[in-house]
Structure 1
């Protein structure tokens, strides 16, 4: 029994070390790819800059593409978690906070953001799934704030999806051609959301747009 227990403990520690090592490699990769495109770094470049053997990256991620997608997924997980949190806040604060977090993500992870929105490693099902997860998290956050629930009718959902798609394109242009501050960009997107919510109400009065909220500070 003691030997069996020791074996289980050893396997558990090995699993924990492996998970920690994988997380460490992803953290390194997030820094390397923060504003560098997928094609700009070879596996040799990555291994050299990360100070690890190239074989270690292959061991955990099988390929450069697998490594990059793991990095993107990890980065996006932070954004999705952020968007889904803060339920105790007033609706207008949650909207501002979510949009500000979205813009911060795009600023801080420009290469990953471009990959999610416009491709970069081949716009395949995995990349689409990452993008769709972000969209659904943002739509759910806005719906909760505007209507008190995330399950909404197709017309209301389409109106919010259309707004999110506009946000994606505008944010891409914003990081490519910086000219507006993040605060100004956030306020512009918040006001355009108000327009989308009023359009939804006009077409379906059962989804009234929340009254404009005044924010202090």
Structure 2
């Protein structure tokens, strides 16, 4: 087989792979909407297939099981959350931290069911779902460390201090999307101030990681 023939064979395969990826992404998008309104236990595979207007076998083909489908949906939601939170890398350190927190809150506000699933750990005590959640926490810690210190290779006191703050953010954000008694801007400012306190505590424990100077506001 010559080079031209190999290319002719490769093109249909590439198109097939693209269609397959697009179909999988479409099923995940449908699943995110379904699980936003209905609990995991209340949805059978027959229900999912009927509401998605697809054959049940297609879902098994891409995800093997309902749990596999659910995990894929959570992982997709996690990717969105981390992308939102890590935006604004071109900003100055303090502004980048503020953007990270604001983006995190925007995601939670507009994707409440997905956020609750990520933070609460999904269905019961599921080790894979909890591992996904822990991965989100580590990603947010790394994003904050990069924004605040300009590096992600931080010492244990700094990592644990930032992780404790992230866990408090999760609790505050869950309360906020349930109550809606604060504006996003107010909550963001509060969480930034709380982070400042955490970082000053980290600096006392490890002077190699100084807290950034507060941002100056005009006016």
Same fold? TM cut 0.5: yes
Out of 170, 184, 187, the residue aligned to residue 186 of structure 2 is 184
Gaps of 5+ in 2: none
Do 2:36 and 2:113's aligned partners in 1 also have CA atoms closer than 8 Å? yes
| Cα distance in 2 between the residues matched to 1:40 and 1:215 | 50
What secondary structure sits across from 1:39 in the alignment?
coil
CA apart distance, 1:89 = 0.7
Let me know the Cα RMSD of the aligned residues: 2.1
What secondary structure sits across from 1:38 in the alignment?
coil
- Determine the structure 2 residue equivalent to 1:69: 71
| Cα distance in 1 between the residues matched to 2:184 and 2:55 | 39
Do 2:49 and 2:55's aligned partners in 1 also have CA atoms closer than 8 Å? yes
> Is structure 2 residue 20 aligned with structure 1 residue 18?
yes
- Determine the structure 1 residue equivalent to 2:113: 111
CA apart distance, 1:145 = 2.2
| Cα distance in 2 between the residues matched to 1:201 and 1:58 | 51
- Determine the structure 1 residue equivalent to 2:177: 175
| Cα distance in 1 between the residues matched to 2:217 and 2:40 | 40
CA apart distance, 1:50 = 1.8
Q: Which deviates more, 131-140 or 35-44?
A: 35-44
Q: Which deviates more, 15-24 or 43-52?
A: 43-52
CA change 1:216–1:128 in 2 (3 A) is: farther
Q: Which deviates more, 102-111 or 58-67?
A: 102-111
Count of residue pairs the alignment pairs up: 217
Gaps of 5+ in 1: none
Aligned structure 1 segments of 4 or more residues deviating by more than 4 angstroms: 2-5
| Cα distance in 1 between the residues matched to 2:85 and 2:41 | 30
What secondary structure sits across from 2:91 in the alignment?
coil
CA change 1:76–1:215 in 2 (3 A) is: farther
Tell me the TM-score normalised to structure 1 length: 0.89
What aligned pairs does 1:1-217 form with structure 2 within 5 A after superposition? Answer: 1=1, 5-215=7-217
